Structure 1
Amino acid sequence: MITNKIIDLNSDLGESFGQWQMGNDEAMLKVVSSANIACGFHAGSPEGILKTLKAAKLNNVSIGAHVGYPDLVGFGRRNMDIGSEELIADVIYQIGALTGLAKSIDAEVSYVKPHGALYNTIAHDKRQAMATIDAIRLINPHLVLVALAGSPLISWAKESGLNVVAEAFADRAYHTDGTLVSRKEVGAVLHDPDIVANRMLQLVNEGGLISIEGEFVEIDAGSICVHGDSMGALAMAQRVSQQLQNNGVKIASFTDVINE
């Protein structure tokens, strides 16, 4: 089926730390169109981040700041009741650090995708959401924010003047109400590359997919996250990309579409 549709594929990268290696950034950057690069708070050492930035530039992949809570030990996945002013400063600091490294190789940071617990919290917590939005607007109001599809964060960010792209997750199951199934539940994370690829083709073609309850759920997303740190992640990302392109879907960064 030829659909002539466009979708972005993004992945969380730059998360290695010194001698501790995570994922296969160089290989993943040959598959995705946008790279969410760690900024040092939840993962990533300066040298490793710069290496990933260079690889992203080489592959013409859009660069995003993958900002998170200051939580190296917990990989940014632990909830924090952090004050608004502190969160604003933390987000500005991380975007600034990545921007500086990118500038050194004549590359540009074009969007922000929060990580882990921060991502999940600001999807619904307006106080922390507005702090994150304020931080982005203060350092660079032209940055695009990547947010969970169907979440209140999308409207809060748009009302504040930010460009926003809604995101779906390739390897995660959804409830009928559009929320992600908790990782604590059986079936929350999908592992079969063919099943995942077919679901993402359905998402692009039909604007939704089948929930864990067996019902169709609408998901309006301009970007699909293919995780880079799980077992078989590269093979899954490659299969998703192949399935989409074989069915006439173009893989391109949302930043390219916005700037056209």
Structure 2
Amino acid sequence: MTALDMSNNALCGQIPLVWPPRIILLLLNDNLLTGSIPPNLELSFSLQILNLANNRLNGIIPPSLAKYPQLRILNLGDNNLEGVMPSEFGMLSQLLSLVIKNNQLSGAFPPSISNCSYLTFLDIGQNLLKGGIPKTVGNLSKLQVLSMRKNYFEGSIPAEIGQLKYLQILDLSSNRLSGFIPRSIFSLQAILVEPEEGYIMPYKIVYDIKSMYNNELNMNSKGRDENYTYIFSTMSAIDLSNNQLNGDVSSDLGNLKGLKGPWIFELFRGTQLF
């Protein structure tokens, strides 16, 4: 057995320690599992997809999850996990998607995550994370979705985010960020050009994140939190609302001709711009 999908049931109890030795895909999301994630899980070192999202798991995220070198998709979102983000995640060099949203994680965002050079989808929103956003986030050159919403991040927005040429969705809303908005944010290549009808931009992503990543993207639209399971080439978003940003609104904002989607008006809501 190489794939096991038991998602979307009413399974309860704790996560068993022992699993089939050749398994590369394990989906236990959307159940009623409780307890902590065992640090001594016996899974194949060839494991590529692990989804434990939307359960009732608690305790810390065991650093031992980083011992699976082929792991590409890791989703621990919508649980009651606490503690810090393990810096060991930086060892997951093949990781494409990391989702830890809607937990009780605290502490700083580990700069070692920048070693995950293939990462395209990063969602750590709705936690208790604090400290500054490290400049090394600009090293995630393939990143297409970055959500750090509803945390306690402070300090300035690093200009290095503007280096992410594939970034299509940026959500830093509802934090404690301050200072000026770096002009590089308004130079994101994936949002600069308006796609023509029937034409898909080379920097744009078009995928069903529900089937590809077993994930949903949560963003604020017109004052309400909405879950999105599809990201189309015509959908781009920058949400910097509900922070403590100040300074002038750059005229470079008008260059973002590809900025489309239901969140376009969330850009400056609740900020201190003048």
**TM-score if structure 2 supplies the norm length?**
0.30
Q: Which is bigger in relative contact order (C-alpha 8 A, separation at least 6)?
A: 1
**TM-score if structure 1 supplies the norm length?**
0.31
Larger proportion of helix: 1
Q: If you compute each CA radius of gyration, which structure gives the higher value, 1 or 2?
A: 2
